[in-house]
Amino acid sequence: MTLQQLRYFVETARTLHFTKAAENLNISQPSLSYAISQLSKRLGVPLFKKEGINVSLTEYGEAFLPYAESALNILVQGEAQLNKMYYPSNGNINLGYIYSVSFDAIPQLIDEFYIYRGNRNISFSFQVNITEFLMKKLIEGSLDVVMAPCSGVVNECIESIPLFEQELYLVVYNSHPLAKYTSVTIDDFKNERFIMIKKGTDLFYQTNSLFKKYNIIPNIFFEVDECNSMASFVGAQLGIAIMPKIPALDSYKVTAIPFQDRTVNRTIRIFWNNSIQHSHALKSFLNFCKSFRSNKSAVNNT
């Protein structure tokens, strides 16, 4: 099993389209198909299945995906640590982020930042936690920058820019009647029992705002601290939840269903503290993030 095969597998799992995945990876489709075939052979199980022109993950592929994504993410962090050790004079950025962006957005952002700079001499130290905790660390100065949704923490020293939109899904246990739906509206589940994130978090504000918009008083069965706990309780058939899609969902025997027309989402932002002197490394990273946002907006407007 090679790192290249893992990258090819993850990209194909994200697109569920061999031609698009090959284009994104800048390789030929036969090369991609061969690599996936060799990985399946190495693992001894089929990872994808084809039904006509449609491609989907097998149960083995779904089970393997979060581990492949975690492995790639850990390697990114390991590479950053080695750069920190080898180039101690080029600066380090303490970056905090929420769990749901750790498997795709963070690796992509860091990789594109290194391409933007033309070198990898700036290193990163990472901290994963809930938004409220990360914002406190940012105000204290122990974090340089935070990637998280809009925060309820009000501080005149904190500034931010929007980075991208993160879609939210209805998550139900696999045997739930809604699990067969390709999309849902709030009327489909308004009378269900809910697993909610604790008050004070951005996800709570997002879901609570959604309920208020439709004059719904949700039947809240449990309140939990983070997304993995939400998925765990849903998997135990104790309720349903609204949350971002995270790789670990597959291990909880739950199904993530998009909202009709994909209308429920939240803005992920980059936050920084202007009351603290910025290093050259941090200034470079913030300039990149502003450029990254501009590029994304240009793509979305075409």
Query: What CATH number does residue 184 fall under?
Result: 3.40.190.290
The total domain count for the chain is: 3
Q: Are residues 294 and 228 in the same domain?
A: no
Using the predicted structure, report yes or no on whether residue 281 has a pLDDT greater than 80.
yes
Q: Are residues 143 and 221 in the same domain?
A: no
- Which residues lie below 8 Å from residue 7, measured CB to CB, with a gap of 6+? 25, 72
Among 62, 77, 109, the domain-final residue is 62
Q: Which two tokens stand for residue 65?
A: 């995906």
Given pLDDT bands bounded at 50, 70 and 90, which one contains residue 89? very low
pTM of the model: 0.61
Among 41, 62, 83, the domain-final residue is 62
Q: Are residues 277 and 151 in the same domain?
A: yes
Q: Are residues 19 and 111 in the same domain?
A: no
- Burial-class residue 20 by CB neighbours within 10 Å (0-12, 13-18, 19+): middle
Strands 145-149 and 92-97: parallel
* Residue 112: CATH number of its domain: 3.40.190.10
Q: Give the number of C-alpha atoms closer than 13 A to the C-alpha of residue 41, restricted to the C-beta side.
A: 8
Tell me the percentage of the chain whose pLDDT exceeds 70.
91
Q: Are residues 111 and 187 in the same domain?
A: no
Q: Are residues 159 and 293 in the same domain?
A: yes
Given pLDDT bands bounded at 50, 70 and 90, which one contains residue 298? very low
pLDDT computed for residue 203 by the predictor: 85
Range of the domain at 213: 165-266
Query: Under DSSP, is residue 267 helix (H, G, I), strand (E, B) or coil?
Result: strand
Given pLDDT bands bounded at 50, 70 and 90, which one contains residue 280? confident
pLDDT computed for residue 154 by the predictor: 62
Q: Are residues 158 and 279 in the same domain?
A: yes
Where does residue 11 fall: left (phi above 0), alpha (psi -120 to 50 degrees), or beta otherwise? alpha
Among 30, 45, 62, the domain-final residue is 62
pLDDT computed for residue 195 by the predictor: 94
Please state the rounded mean pLDDT for residues 151-178: 86
Q: Which two tokens stand for residue 143?
A: 């974090």
Q: Are residues 261 and 290 in the same domain?
A: no
Using the predicted structure, report yes or no on whether residue 213 has a pLDDT greater than 50.
yes
Q: Are residues 91 and 228 in the same domain?
A: no
Q: Are residues 133 and 274 in the same domain?
A: yes
Q: Are residues 132 and 279 in the same domain?
A: yes
Q: Are residues 151 and 223 in the same domain?
A: no
